[in-house]
Amino acid sequence: MSRVRLVPIVLIAIVALAVLFGGWQAYQHFNLLGPLKKNLQQVEGVQTVDILTGSPDVVQVQLGPFSKLKNGDLQQTYDDITSQVSSKLGTGVTLQLSDDRSGTLAQALENFNPVLLEGVTKGNYTEMISQVTHMAKSQGINCRVTMDTQYIYIQLAKGGHYLYKVMPYSTHQGGAAS
């Protein structure tokens, strides 16, 4: 009668799991994350990229000033970034944009929030953009607000500082229908 030796079986299982885990990590680094990071750093306006794997994956992107963005437009730069990220990592990835904001710009954005939210709620998009642009101009802030079907893109700059905000919005209101 043969005896099953437990220690060699456990050691073989541990070595096999270590090899599989190491192979997965190498695959992720060399075939997914490395090329994604390289591609993102080639997008106009991107200064640095940091990718944190987990649940969910987080892609942190440091953007440069307006003049460095694709055509000076946050929306075009953001579209390029999201298309690169979704092609490599799929959906469910958290994208975090970093900028060089000052207290003045952060306060201005906070002051613009009621106008932005009211514009989205009422559907007065052109009026909302006009009001935010006028408010920014009165404070000596360079402002650009654009939209697509999912997001409002806000760019603010004053002095050497700049702030970027991508706000999701939905035109579909919840509630009961009769």
Please check the confidence at residue 173 and state whether its pLDDT lies above 70: no
pLDDT tens by residue, 93-132:
899 999 999 999 999 999 999 999 999 999 899 999 999 9
pTM value? 0.78
83-87 average pLDDT score? 88
**CATH class label, 7-98:** alpha beta
Query: Distances in Å between the alpha carbon of 87 and those of 41, 78, 81, 159, 167?
Result: 15, 14, 10, 36, 22
pLDDT tens by residue, 146-161:
999 999 999 999 999 9
pLDDT tens by residue, 15-40:
899 888 888 777 766 667 888 889 88
d(C-alpha 27, C-alpha 5), whole Å: 34
> Which residue ranges make up each domain of the chain?
7-98, 103-168
